[in-house]
Amino acid sequence: MKYFFYCVAFLLASQFVNAQADKVFLHNGKVLEVKVLRVGEQLLFKYPKEDVENSISKFAVSKVLYSSGREESITDKITVTSEKDFENVIILQKGTSLTGLKRLGDVKGKAMGTALANMNKVKTRAENEIKKEAAKMGGVFLLLDNYQVTDSQPSIAYGKTNITGTAYSY
């Protein structure tokens, strides 16, 4: 009888401990049972029975279900399945947290225009080209490493834009 009582007490205690954890739903399908400390550009959290603070990019997180029962939506999942979805690729600024995102590889884009070309259109063409390259790899996010623009001048008959970056996914 004592054994039964201890088993029931243990089961109730373990349910209580699990009920105290927040659930973080990631876009890749994983669920983390943690204690969420802060939500911003990054989600800051601790694993149960640990003191180390961990972080993950908000772009990797779908929602948080707090132990109180409150649910907070963090980011919508972006779908890129082919080059045709290139307009869905998001260009991230340097310094953006990439923790929790999967690095897919390096990509390049370039475009040229004549001296009469609108340089903004040339830049847009180069951005679209690099987004298409990322989309071909299944990339949802693009972190630009180098953005080089050469405007047309009297001694140069054309303007050009060269962009390099790294594609990331969930």
Q: What's the domain range around 107?
A: 83-169
Q: 103 has which bridge partners?
A: 168
Q: 64 has which bridge partners?
A: 24, 72
Task: Please answer whether residues 83 and 74 qualify as being in contact, where contact means their C-beta atoms are separated by less than 8 angstroms.
Answer: no
Q: Name the amino acid, one letter, at 70.
A: R
pLDDT of residue 147: 82
Give the Cα separation of 144 and 128 in Å (integer): 13
Q: 162 has which bridge partners?
A: 110, 148
Q: Are residues 60 and 114 both part of a single domain? A: no
Q: 91 has which bridge partners?
A: 142
Instruction: Supply the CATH number for residue 43's domain.
Output: 2.30.30.100
- In a domain, residue 96? The reply is yes
- In a domain, residue 78? The reply is no
Tokens 């109180």 map to which residue? Answer: 68
Instruction: Supply the CATH number for residue 111's domain.
Output: 3.30.110.70
How far out from the chain centre does Cα 153 lie? 39
Instruction: Tell me the pTM.
Output: 0.77
Q: Are residues 111 and 134 both part of a single domain? A: yes
Q: Are residues 69 and 90 both part of a single domain? A: no
Q: What mean pLDDT do residues 142-158 have? A: 74
128, pLDDT greater than 50: yes
pLDDT of residue 17: 47
Which is more confident, 45 or 153?
Answer: 45
Give the Cα separation of 142 and 82 in Å (integer): 15
